[in-house]
Structures are given as C-alpha cells and as structure tokens.
Amino acid sequence: MSEQGKVVCVSGASGYIASWLVKLLLQHGYTVKATVRNPNDLTKTGHLLALDGAKERLHLFKADLVEEGSFDSVIEGCDGVFHTASPVAVEVSDPQAELIDPALRGTINILRSCAKVPSVKRVVVTSSMATVVFNGKSLTPDVLVDESWFSNPLLLEQSKLWYMLSKTLAEEAAWKFAKENGIHMVTLNPGWVIGPLLHPTPSLSVQEVLKLIKGAQTFPNTPYTWVDVRDVANAHIQAYELLEASGRFCLVETVSDGSETLKILHKFYPALHLSEKPADDKPYVPAFQVSQEKAKGLGIHFTPLEVSLKDTIESLKENNLISL
Ligand code: NAP
C-alpha cells in the first residue's frame, strides 16, 4: 500500500527514534505534523527543519503529554498517528510525575484525540521490550521471548523499575482504550536502541554505549536487547502501511551481554580502554532469545549489531561526543 502524500502526526518528534521516523516519513512522501514541547528551541528542532522535504512537508506544533486535549488540533485531519513521545529516564526523584503520568496519561490523552478524528485509520505506538520481558519467568538461553509475553506491573513496582513500569502501564491502558474505542492500534516494542544520531543529544540507550567506552570501571553482566534505530523507524512505517499488521512487534536484533558487546567494540577500536570487570559478583546472566518472526513479517531485515555499534561510535565522533 502506498501512503505517499498522506498526513501523519508524530509525537515527541525531536527525540532520537522519532527524528529518524520523521526523516524516513518525509523520504516516503508523507506530510508530517510533528509535535515538540517547544517549537522555538532550535537545539531540538534544527535537525528536523534541515531534513530533505522538511521545508515543504514538515509542520511543527507545540504539545505536551500531560496537557489534556493538547494534541486535538494537531491530530485533526491526520490519516495516521505515530505516538513516540514518552520520558526516557531511569534516575528520577518523583516517578509518578516524571515518568508514569506523562507515559500513561499522555498515551490516553493522545488516543482520546485520535478517537475524536474519523480520518485517523491507524495509530502506531512506540512501546518497549520493557513491557514484554518482566513477567517473572526466568530468562535462560533456551527461552524464546515473543509478543505473547507481558510484563507484570506489580513486579516492576516492587523492584522500583519506574521507567519499565511507566511503559507497561501505558501499553496496558492503551490496548484497553483502543479496544473500547475501536481504534486500530499497533505497538512496536524495541529493545536497547542504538545507531547514528540525527542530533547531538544522545538518548539514554546511546548513553549506555558511551558509558561502555568512556572508561567505566565495570560493565553490566546482564543482557542487552540491541536493535538499530534505522530498523526501528522503518518498522514503524511498515506497521502503519501494511494493512495486515496488527498487535505487538518485538524489535531485537541480538541479545548480548556487556562482555560480548565490549568484545565487538574492541575488535573495531583496539585503542579503547574498555572495562574488564563485571559490575557485581552475581552469577553471569546468560542471554535469552527474542522471536523475530513477527518483525520479519513487516519486511525488517535487522542490521547486525556490529554495524550498529560501529555506526553509533562514528556518529558520536562526528557529534564531538567522543574523540578516538
Ligand atoms: P528521547 O530521545 O529521550 O525522546 C523522548 C521524546 O519524548 C522527546 O522528544 C521528549 O520531548 C518527549 N517527551 C518527554 N516528555 C514529554 C512530555 N511531557 N510531553 C511531550 N513530549 C515529551 O528517547 P527515545 O530513545 O527516542 O525514545 C522514544 C520512544 O521510544 C519512547 O517512547 C521510549 O520509551 C521508546 N523506547 C526507546 C528505547 C531506546 O532504547 N531508546 C527502547 C524502547 C522504547 P523533549 O525533546 O521536549 O524532551
């Protein structure tokens, strides 16, 4: 199905993943109504305004997840909505206000706006593997995680994993609202997203790579679920365009622990001083597997981790965030 020329909304457009999504949507011929919290802040919007096609087909709007009705006028006249905005942070002093309210209330706020606009045919929500893996089952190498898994909010609350909780509560509520209001919704559930930056502010997931290479004393001995930002953005568009796409889509190229990741980095950048010591004395947690079957149904051919890591480092260099 070609959606060339159609009008779509992208929430949180200045973010890492959303910037790539906007870039690809413009390349595909869409008109993009992009929401940001402050359209006048060129440090956050300059890279979007410089994209090919932006002059003709990118329109910036001010909207905030926690303001009721904030997205109503933006979504009016849209054929589709990509909801990517959500605070991404692990260290917060007030989890309810800083993470849960914007994620949960914000998602329902946007879906409520979508429900009022008959032209909206599909809503694509950027969820996370955080809403998938934390259900209490053990994650051993023989385990294949797939879209039928759903994280348990009680476990996340007990473990004080507030970001994971915010995403899980938001996705859970989104499915309920979409079902009750006849909204055709699809969720993408990426793991740790890495790859080139379109603007010089690294998201939390790219900061993790920075930590690994900037001489951290130790490396985490828990597995990372890596995926490339370009594949994630492309999957959003495929999930919107493919009529048969439905439900959730796990997006993970490789599950790899800190030491394996460091080995790859060392292969390409032998001069780097990388940590050789795991973060704790707990037993090493072997990597599990994540099903790619549904994602491949979207036509996604995952970028190998080696390429994603190398492109991340090169992009960090170009943005003067590291010197090697
Ligand atoms: P990011 O670069 O930090 O982008 C987050 C975006 O959310 C920013 O544009 C931010 O706007 C916006 N936002 C935060 N609070 C908001 C509010 N109250 N109202 C309106 N906008 C608000 O993070 P990202 O890595 O691209 O993440 C984008 C989405 O992917 C999120 O939903 C995240 O949970 C999900 N995700 C990310 C990863 C990952 O590894 N990076 C993995 C899985 C899922 P400002 O620019 O105004 O702050």
User: What is the per-residue pLDDT across 104-118, written as a single tens digit (0 to 9) for each?
Assistant: 999 999 999 999 999
Q: Is the CB of 167 under 6 A from ligand 1?
A: yes
CA–chain centroid gap for 244, Å, is: 22
- Which residues lie closer than 8 Å to 39 by C-beta, 6 or more apart? 45, 60, 61, 62
Q: Kindly state the percentage of the chain with pLDDT values over 70.
A: 97
| Residue 141 alpha carbon to ligand 1 centre in Å | 30
Report which ligand 1 atom has the smallest distance to the Cα of 102.
Answer: 18
- Pick 279 or 226 by higher pLDDT: 226
Confidence bin at 215 (pLDDT 50/70/90) = low
Assigned token pair, 16: 């890492």
The pLDDT assigned to 147 comes to 98
Alpha-carbon distances of 140 from 133, 137, 222, 227, 289, rounded to whole Å = 12, 9, 11, 20, 8
Query: Half-sphere exposure of 258 toward its Cβ, with a 13 Å CA cutoff?
Result: 22
Lowest mean pLDDT among 26-35, 212-221, 304-313: 212-221
**pTM as predicted:** 0.96
**What's phi and psi for 196, nearest 5 deg?**
-60, 150
Q: Is the CB of 193 under 6 A from ligand 1?
A: yes
Give me the chain's average pLDDT, please.
94
Q: Kindly state the percentage of the chain with pLDDT values over 90.
A: 81
Q: Is the CB of 14 under 6 A from ligand 1?
A: yes
| Residue 85 alpha carbon to ligand 1 centre in Å | 5
Give the C-alpha separation, 31 to 305, whole Å: 32
> In sequence order, what DSSP letters do the residues of 143-196 get, joined into one string?
-EE-TT----HHHHHHTT-HHHHHHHHHHHHHHHHHHHTT--EEEEEE-EEES-
Residue 9 has pLDDT above 90, yes or no: yes
**262-284 pLDDT tens trace:** 889 889 888 877 777 777 777 67
Alpha-carbon distances of 236 from 64, 138, 167, rounded to whole Å = 22, 29, 17
Residue 158 has pLDDT above 90, yes or no: yes
The pLDDT assigned to 1 comes to 42
The pLDDT assigned to 44 comes to 94
Neighbours of 297 (CB within 10 A): 14
Q: Is the CB of 16 under 6 A from ligand 1?
A: yes
Residue 51 has pLDDT above 70, yes or no: yes
Alpha-carbon distances of 119 from 4, 26, 274, 303, rounded to whole Å = 16, 20, 52, 34
Q: Is the CB of 17 under 6 A from ligand 1?
A: yes
The pLDDT assigned to 126 comes to 98
